[in-house]
Structure 1
């Protein structure tokens, strides 16, 4: 595993340049360019806010009198979920989509999911900047606990990259995984408190949702942005351990399958 990490590190400039090329090629003929990356999640959040805002805005703890509380709550959850779902969705097909490149060039194949993760991270940073700008325009100034967002992003990225690399590797050999994961992500979105507050659910179901690692990550985003409170350190410690284990397991699975990936593709 150490050799795999070192070989990937030697190609760090290739990873960075590939991220830059991806951005340029994706929006080379677009007038709005990279703005499209943040327009889509913002429009989705706006739709939920318009449809569910009146129904759920009064159900947020200690926020019944704040008319901006629900849109902020929704955008905070969207910020965290977008990074998670984008990394997993793109890692799922990263080897299949780059089959020709893998057959023609010799480079560590772990570069591909890292390029995906780097690209998704830049997208998320742009979305975060846009969300903060929207908050300021609406007259809402986030508190000092906004400083926990980078840590939450790092944990989120580690968890999604580990799961994404596992699923992307397995998808090369079992293509049904590529059909199942998008459905699971859709279910995961609704089983994570992004568009609703957990306190509107029966206590038994709310406790069940806490088994979802993204529950605590998204709650951390919402605490830091809306409630100006720190995340749950106990929960984040457990999620961090899960992220580390998933990353380690992904490298083990990838290393064993590495020699056969190109042959299968």
Structure 2
């Protein structure tokens, strides 16, 4: 029986070893989403542009919403909200698809030489591509509505790194569970919907009473959403201490997810 390494170094080594396959698979994944449509890849630009326009109109002009302690800029609430949604959408897209990612690639399971562990990473790269397009739309909107973005926006990749590790760990776990427990794929969308409302996307964490604020930070999405909003919009330096702890937590999550996936993948072919 083939042995699959659970060494933490293998998490990175397998991705580097199969980088060309990952690159080709990601390209196919991104282009395949728009295959057959007249506008093709342009939809990846127009979708976030349309949503940002809707948020700006509804929250700024209809509800006249203002972020807590914010300025009187009409587009402020929409920009702050959309910054949080960029993070959440990357997370939700990966997590919602993770339980069915092996089930939808059954032909690869029978092939001993195919590295199944890269499938969640391909899914993540596809989500990051669309997240990057959304970020580009956000930056253009910021320039039009307010002016030059703060230099702290350069810290965005640093803040997203722990989120990437968190997503990979959870994706490996859910991809394995999805093979053995088909209900996982049906229920995970409900879980991500709940996460959307218990994450500080539509409201600042500071708006909650302190007792609930502490509970909010048990949500692993809360720190990254707050930090992304701080560096992109408010020009506040990231909390490096918080990021360090968050990085350690997500590294452990990534390895646990990888460990579980490698230990359980031997039974995929029998179940499928």
Q: TM-score, normalised by structure 1?
A: 0.90
What is the number of residues matched between the two proteins? Answer: 264
Q: Distance in 1 between matches of 2:42 and 2:216?
A: 33
Q: Does 1:264 align with 2:264?
A: no
Q: How far off its partner does 1:212 sit?
A: 1.1
Q: How far off its partner does 1:10 sit?
A: 2.5
Q: Distance in 2 between matches of 1:51 and 1:210?
A: 28
SS in 2 for 1:110: helix
Q: Does 1:73 align with 2:80?
A: yes
Please show how residues 202-241 of structure 1 align to structure 2 within 5 Å: 202-241=209-248
Q: How far off its partner does 1:47 sit?
A: 4.0
Q: Distance in 2 between matches of 1:43 and 1:238?
A: 36
Gaps of 5+ in 2: 1-5
Q: Does 1:90 align with 2:97?
A: yes
1:109 to 109, 116, 119: 116
- Residue 27 of structure 1 aligns with which residue? 34
- Residue 36 of structure 1 aligns with which residue? 43
- Residue 132 of structure 2 aligns with which residue? 125
2:18 to 8, 11, 24: 11
Please show how residues 46-61 of structure 1 align to structure 2 within 5 Å: 46-53=53-60, 55=63, 57-61=65-69
* 1:208–1:48 distance in 2 versus 1, CA, 3 Å: farther
1:141-164 Cα deviation digits (max 9, x unpaired): 210000111112222111111112
1:173 to 180, 183, 186: 180
Bigger mean CA offset, 183-192 vs 234-243 = 234-243
Given that 2:26 and 2:126 are in contact with CA atoms closer than 8 Å, whether structure 1 keeps it comes out as: yes
Given that 1:152 and 1:221 are in contact with CA atoms closer than 8 Å, whether structure 2 keeps it comes out as: yes
Q: How far off its partner does 1:38 sit?
A: 4.5
Q: How far off its partner does 1:263 sit?
A: 1.6
Q: Distance in 2 between matches of 1:160 and 1:192?
A: 16
Q: How far off its partner does 1:16 sit?
A: 0.5
Gaps of 5+ in 1: none
Q: How far off its partner does 1:56 sit?
A: 7.1
* RMSD of Structure 2 on Structure 1 (CA): 2.2
